[in-house]
């Protein structure tokens, strides 16, 4: 085998012509690759690796955009309304239709609505629709609503989304839980006629007069114990509605009574 000769610079140079041609072609290919710009530099690779996180962050910002827009719109409306004269409560009439913007929300109670009056009005959960509020409280700050004046008294403004009669009995004063012993001897099979005092997202509170007489006892009526058709009954599923219930269970120590509209 013929050994290659050593060139002046210390490299091996093959004597055979075809080997010299192959080496030249390989060198040319290496130089061509070195001359080409990198299609994906290190920075681009890192950016590509971070792309999923960036896309996820953008998606979250886009999902928050409607809520942020509503909040910004509500704040802008509040700033603009602050410069406008407020309507005195004394000038509002029961049944009057008003345009308003939700300013705050209590999940189980309702929400406050700015209708341009000297103070925000309370839209209770029980006034969300004709019947029981089956959808719960899904209002958000900045939502626009068209309401009717339900009541104006003692410096308070109450609103309604119901379409029917707006006559309601007076609200019962708040206080500590009353004694429930007057219902202690009532059989679970005995039907009692009560009056709904308020509606919540989970059910209703019902005032039940004891058979032996005396002040009514407030019991809790969960929506799982509603009779069929009650949720859409605009006459009965409302504050002041008359319903027939049974004492399902009670705790004298906790002063709690659970009621039911279902048959035993």
Q: What's the number of CA atoms in the CB half-sphere (13 Å) around residue 79?
A: 5
SS3 category, 221: strand
Instruction: Tell me if 96-160 shares its fold with 181-260.
Output: yes
The CA–CA distances, whole Å, from 44 to 37, 40, 41, 239 equal: 13, 6, 5, 65
Which among 232, 220, 163 has a CA at the least distance from the CA of 196?
Answer: 220
Tell me what pLDDT residue 6 has: 43
Question: Cα–Cα distance between 147 and 137 in angstroms, integer?
Answer: 16
For the chain, list residues with pLDDT below 70: 1-83
Tell me what pLDDT residue 167 has: 95
pTM: 0.68
Architecture of 96-160 per CATH? Answer: Beta Barrel (2.40)
Q: Which residues contact 214 (CB under 8 A, 6 or more apart)?
A: 182
Question: Is the Cβ–Cβ distance between 216 and 207 less than 8 Å?
Answer: yes
Q: Which numeric CATH code is attached to 181-260?
A: 2.40.50.140
Tell me what pLDDT residue 71 has: 59
Question: Cα–Cα distance between 257 and 245 in angstroms, integer?
Answer: 12
Domain boundaries, the chain: 96-160, 181-260
Which among 212, 223, 216 has a CA at the least distance from the CA of 259?
Answer: 223
The CA–CA distances, whole Å, from 169 to 186, 209, 238 equal: 27, 16, 10
Q: State the greatest distance between any 2 C-alpha atoms of the chain, in Å, as a whole number.
A: 126
Tell me what pLDDT residue 77 has: 57
Tell me what pLDDT residue 11 has: 46
């Amino acid at each position: 085998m013929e050994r290659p000769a050593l060139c002046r610079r210390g490299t091996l140079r093959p004597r055979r012509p075809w080997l010299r041609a192959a080496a030249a072609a390989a060198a040319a290919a290496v130089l061509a690759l070195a001359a080409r710009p990198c299609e994906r530099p290190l920075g681009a690779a890192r950016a590509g690796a971070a792309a999923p996180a960036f896309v996820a962050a953008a998606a979250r910002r886009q999902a928050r955009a409607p809520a942020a827009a509503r909040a910004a719109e509500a704040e802008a409306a509040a700033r603009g309304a602050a410069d406008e004269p407020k309507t005195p409560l004394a000038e509002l009439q029961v049944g009057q239709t008003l345009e308003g913007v939700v300013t705050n929300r209590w999940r189980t109670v309702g929400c406050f609505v700015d209708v341009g009056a000297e103070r925000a009005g309370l839209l209770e959960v029980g006034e969300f629709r004709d019947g029981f509020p089956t959808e719960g409280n899904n209002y958000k700050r900045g939502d626009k609503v068209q309401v009717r004046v339900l009541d104006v008294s003692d410096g308070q403004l109450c609103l309604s989304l119901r379409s029917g009669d707006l006559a309601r009995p007076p609200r019962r004063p708040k206080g500590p839980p009353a004694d429930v012993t007057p219902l202690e001897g009532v059989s679970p099979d005995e039907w009692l006629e009560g009056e709904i005092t308020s509606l919540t997202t989970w059910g209703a509170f019902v005032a039940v007069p004891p058979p032996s007489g005396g002040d009514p006892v407030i019991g809790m009526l969960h929506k799982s114990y509603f009779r069929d058709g009650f949720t859409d009954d605009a006459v009965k599923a409302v504050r002041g509605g008359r319903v027939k219930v049974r004492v399902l269970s009670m705790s004298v120590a906790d002063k709690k009574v659970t009621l039911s509209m279902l048959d035993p």
